[in-house]
Amino acid sequence: MNLHGLRVFYHVCNHNSFSRAAQAMFISQPAVSKAVKELEHVTGLPLIYRAARGKGIQLTEAGQALYEHARGIFSLEQAAREDLKARAGLQRGTLVVGASTTVASYWLASVIARFRQAHPAIEIRLSVANSAHIEQALLACEVDLAFVEGKIDHPAITCNFWQHDPLCIVAPANAPTTFTKACLAEQTWLLREAGSGTLSVMTNYLREQNIATPHTIELGSNEAIIQAVACGLGLSIVPRVVAAERLALNKIQYITIPGGELPGPRPLYYLRFHNRPLTPAAQQFLTLAH
């Protein structure tokens, strides 16, 4: 069934006139008559009784049934149009942001707060996992955009610099302020889980400094690591933003390695699926994040 023909029929019914339907649709009256006749041919049923000039129209039983269906169809079309217009104007919709654990815990709260204040009608969800899982969520279109530490190298993902995240080496408050590399090899190192951007930076740094790490404990979050350091369990490399509160309370301290530079600030990135346009909500969130 031709949707244009159905639309013409719907207008004829609404206006009770072929000529008024033609005027409403900005087409000729013969074009209206032709569309209705083609619709009757396709359905195999008469739809309209042609009354005398000036007497309007009368629907057959089949015509009345089709009109009810058409009214439902074009009502849904109008609802869809209004819904999309509202979403384009950020008056409706859902935004799902993916974030690695560190970014979600320490960097995005203020952005989410600003977004909610500016666009209260948009439902926003934050999906938190390590960088490897966030990459997979983006590829599966489970999130609209994502923020992670560490660059993602995948041909289907656009990876753009967002901001820097300074790192530091932390130790319990009662530990020495400097360690030799030999002494560091005797310490217990607290590590993030596989797939974490923080783990990748930490292992690369220790390898570059020729620091062996035979004694390690894996913990599932930076918060767990910084708490373990404060309790005297070992050393770690964490973002400064993670360590700031415990440092202010003198629960931990920064340490240095003689002859070894501290880890440089690592870049944080925002990610988007290469062939998927950002929704208006995602674009606005990204603007607020900068």
Say which CATH number the domain at 182 has. 3.40.190.10
Whether residue 172 is found in the same domain as residue 260 = yes
Whether residue 282 is found in the same domain as residue 153 = yes
Whether residue 18 is found in the same domain as residue 74 = yes
CA separation for the pair 134, 63 (Å, rounded) = 54
Whether residue 173 is found in the same domain as residue 256 = yes
Q: Spell out the alpha helix ranges (H) of the chain.
A: 3-15, 18-25, 29-43, 61-88, 101-106, 109-118, 131-139, 181-185, 197-208, 222-230, 240-248, 280-289
Cα 217 versus chain centre, distance? 33
**Which of 88, 108, 134 is the last residue in one of the domains?**
88
Mean pLDDT to the nearest integer, 101-115 = 91
Which helix H or strand E contains 73, and what residues bound it? helix 61-88
Given a contact cutoff of 8 angstroms between Cβ atoms, the answer to whether 125 and 93 are in contact is no
Whether residue 243 is found in the same domain as residue 106 = no
CA separation for the pair 172, 131 (Å, rounded) = 28
Least confident piece of the model among 67-81, 189-203, 257-271: 257-271
Local confidence band at 95 (pLDDT 50, 70, 90 cut-offs) = very high
pLDDT value for 145 = 94
Which of these, 208, 209, 210, 239, lies nearest to 225 by C-alpha position?
A: 239
Highest mean pLDDT pick, 101-105, 158-162, 200-204, 254-258: 158-162
Mean pLDDT to the nearest integer, 62-72 = 93
Least confident piece of the model among 195-204, 216-225, 280-289: 195-204
Local confidence band at 170 (pLDDT 50, 70, 90 cut-offs) = very high
Non-local CB neighbours of 42 within 8 Å, separated by 6+ positions = 1, 2, 5
Domain that holds residue 51: 3-88
Local confidence band at 51 (pLDDT 50, 70, 90 cut-offs) = low
Helix (H, G, I), strand (E, B) or coil at 8: helix
Whether residue 234 is found in the same domain as residue 103 = no
Whether residue 152 is found in the same domain as residue 64 = no
CA separation for the pair 264, 164 (Å, rounded) = 9
Say how many domains are in the chain: 3
Whether residue 110 is found in the same domain as residue 228 = no
How many other β-carbons are positioned within 10 Å of the β-carbon of residue 89?
12
Whether residue 53 is found in the same domain as residue 185 = no
Mean pLDDT to the nearest integer, 57-61 = 92
Q: Return the CATH number at 34.
A: 1.10.10.10
Placement of tokens 């530079």 in the chain = 261
**Which of 55, 88, 121 is the last residue in one of the domains?**
88
CA-angle at 79, arms to 5 and 74, nearest 5°: 15
165 pLDDT above the threshold of 70: yes
Which of these, 99, 147, 87, lies nearest to 126 by C-alpha position?
A: 99
Which of these, 128, 112, 122, lies nearest to 91 by C-alpha position?
A: 122
Which residue type does 40 have? E
209 pLDDT above the threshold of 60: yes
Local confidence band at 149 (pLDDT 50, 70, 90 cut-offs) = confident
Whether residue 13 is found in the same domain as residue 39 = yes
Instruction: Give the model confidence (pLDDT) of 221-280 as tens digits.
Output: 889 999 999 999 999 999 898 899 999 999 999 988 777 667 678 889 999 988 788 889
Whether residue 63 is found in the same domain as residue 196 = no
**Which of 88, 116, 144 is the last residue in one of the domains?**
88
Whether residue 209 is found in the same domain as residue 74 = no
The fraction of the chain above a pLDDT of 70, given in percent, is 97
Which of these, 128, 152, 131, 266, lies nearest to 202 by C-alpha position?
A: 266
100 pLDDT above the threshold of 70: yes
